[in-house]
Structure 1
């Protein structure tokens, strides 16, 4: 299953959701959320369950502030 949602406006929100199920009950989940505005919020979350038993969860959240368009040297 691959699901993609995109909403474009003054604030751009892009949602990309990917789910992959493989043999041996292997479930791989990759979830990415990006919101771009004056403040940029990026959420990348990856869930991987492998070897039918082992479970690994990696989740990263990044917030970047918009840089000034005309930085002033001091």
Structure 2
């Protein structure tokens, strides 16, 4: 439940999320998924792939990353007096 997992996983739709550092919760989530019907697991996989392709594809992420770097460069230059 920390880092990128919360952004990437839609609980019940694309997977499950365990509490960070909680081995018991992780075990419980794994056991829970073992009881899911095969079609539910397959659908979660399809949903996860669709989400990744739409939201985390390099064609989408790279422009955002470049914008962030450019913004950081501008801020740094402004703080250094425009150099």
> TM-score, with normalisation over the residues of structure 2?
0.27
Larger CA Rg, structure 1 vs 2? 2
Q: Which has the higher strand share?
A: 1
> TM-score, with normalisation over the residues of structure 1?
0.29
